[in-house]
Structure 1
Amino acid sequence: MNHVATYSKSAPTREEVDALIGPSILEFGTDWCGYCQRAQAAITQSLARLPQIRHLKIEDGQGRPLGRSFKVKLWPTLVFLRDGVEVARVVRPANPTVIDEAAAALA
């Protein structure tokens, strides 16, 4: 699967996320967030090496229940899931190495 360019305004429900089969990465943030914009190069570089992993890029913010259910506080936050269960998390990645290390938990 390819890296998604923009954050989706529509999000799956927590129940749908919990039911996902296989490895997935949820990326929470917004298109206007400076931290999110700066992290995109590292995220894109790392995810290019993981084409088999589902990547959901979800707009987060006040009143957005999915981000609240994962206790997201800072953007971007990447939540690594295996069969709907969180196995790793990266907050504000500065380089692709930290993303690669978290993705190793999906193996």
Structure 2
Amino acid sequence: MNSSYSTNPPTRAEVDALDGPLLIEFGAPWCGHCQAAQPLLEEALAGRPRIRHLKIEDGAGRPLGRSFRVKLWPTLIFLRGGHEVARLVRPGDVQAISLALAQIDPE
């Protein structure tokens, strides 16, 4: 699990070209909802080393978040082979995250 937000995200074309299971987390370090989701994400991602986790700092004018139509933080986008499989906005429990992760990486 990544612990800090990237301010230099990949392009949408680069994301679409990635193979395998990918979780993109859009948010901001100062966002209370994002901070509350961190322990949930850490628990859900534990034991899932095959899932790539990109933590992207989002905001006005940030093209990657806009390309995924992100409106609230955190927004979690679950992709497999460059295709969106699931999405969670402001997740409130580990089980919801784990179920979405299982859709992109069935153990």
TM-score, structure 1 as length reference: 0.95
What corresponds to 1:66 in structure 2? Answer: 64
Q: Deviations over 1:84-103 (max 9, x none)?
A: 10000111111110001111
1:35 Cα shift?
0.4
Question: Percentage identity across aligned positions?
Answer: 60
Matched, 1:7 2:5: yes
Q: Helix, strand or coil for the counterpart of 1:26?
A: strand
Matched, 1:98 2:96: yes
Unaligned runs of 5+ in 2: none
Unaligned runs of 5+ in 1: none
TM-score, structure 2 as length reference: 0.95
Alignment match of 1:17 (pick from 3, 15, 18): 15
Stretches of 4+ moved more than 6 A in 1?
Answer: none
Whole-angstrom distance in 2 between the partners of 1:64 and 1:97: 30
Q: Helix, strand or coil for the counterpart of 1:88?
A: strand
Whole-angstrom distance in 2 between the partners of 1:23 and 1:51: 10
1:49 Cα shift?
2.9
